[in-house]
Structure 1
Amino acid sequence: MDPIDEAIIRCVQRNARSTYAEIGRAANLSAPAAKRRLDRLVATGAIRGFTAVLDPQVLAWRTEAFIEVFCRGKPTPAELRRALEDVPEVVEACTVSGAADAVLHVLADSSTHLEQAIQRVRATEPVERTESVIVLSRLIKRPHP
């Protein structure tokens, strides 16, 4: 990883839809050179993918829940992440100590939408079962540094 790679990564983190010309300008490269470097970062796994970042408030997703996930077998964190990343209502997922394999923070626009999201999580391999708690009120929320 050199300063050029770092500039490319910063650029696509700010906007995953950046053109090769924009990435090149950010890294002082031509568009074709930026494409080659970006392709290499993807091929080596330094960049695992590109995504849209949803704003739950704009989508009016104000129904919150925390879901404990219990798995069959012993999936790796990477396997579990891949299994859950297609559920857009999952805004955060963490592996945890204790009985559960992971805890998910889920946002939805209604209890019906939340139930559908939970059903999609439950239908995902290697999920065996879930236990959910719905957030009634947020007492403390501090910004992350």
Structure 2
Amino acid sequence: MLNELDERIVHALAEDARRSYADIGQLVGLSAPAVKRRVDRLRATGAITGFTVRVDPAALGWETEGYIELYCRRNTSPETIRRGLERYQEVVAASTVTGEADAVVQVFAADMRHFERVLERIAGEPFVERTKSVLVLSPLLRRFSSGAPS
């Protein structure tokens, strides 16, 4: 479990992973070397799993976003669902869920026809009984993982 200082460091890195240790140190009241030691420890313990870049999918030509609810055949394990979906580059997230559906899958596609083809391929997976999909009209709010809300 992270202490308050570690959480503040993680939030700062989540806002901008390229932020300098000196800048973060000023923000949280530590020296740059002290921030580096804490970040190194957070990485070593697995609290920070890596650093990445966030890219607007539209900049890559992926302008259609949708969610697919999966209704799976009986006794389908989460691992089977994960293995079945991981080969689709259009799938950016997938989670098992409560409720009627077994999983929800977030998909980005170039256009409506592309989304439809991906939906058809996923619906054809042997573990899928049926699907239900929705398309995103306008994203209203997006937050990126940065630990607990501050």
TM-score band w.r.t. shorter chain: 0.5 to 0.7
- Which residues of structure 2 form unaligned runs of 5+? 144-150
Q: How does 1:51-62 map to 2 (within 5 A)?
A: 51-62=52-63
- Counterparts of 1:119-138 in structure 2, within 5 Å, are 128-129=127-128, 131=131, 133=133, 135=135, 138=137
Tell whether the 8 Å contact from 1:63 to 1:108 is kept in structure 2 after alignment. yes
Percent identity for Structure 1 against Structure 2: 37
SS of the aligned residue for 1:29 comes to coil
SS of the residue 2:95 aligns to: strand
Q: Which runs of 5+ in 1 are unaligned?
A: none
User: In the alignment, is residue 73 of structure 1 matched against residue 95 of structure 2?
Assistant: no
Q: CA-atom RMSD, angstroms?
A: 4.1
How far has the Cα of 1:111 moved from its partner? 5.3
User: Over residues 30-50 of structure 1, what are the superposed CA-to-partner deviations in whole Å (9 max), with x where a residue is unaligned?
Assistant: 322212101222233332332
Counterpart Cα distance in 2 of 1:22 and 1:88: 36
Aligned length: 132
* Cross-structure match for 1:2: 3
Partner of 1:35: 36
Answer 1 or 2: higher relative contact order, Cα 8 Å, separation at least 6. Answer: 2
TM-score normalised over the length of structure 1: 0.59
How much has 1:103 moved relative to structure 2?
0.8
Separation in structure 2 between the aligned mates of residue 60 and residue 132 of structure 1, nearest angstrom: 24
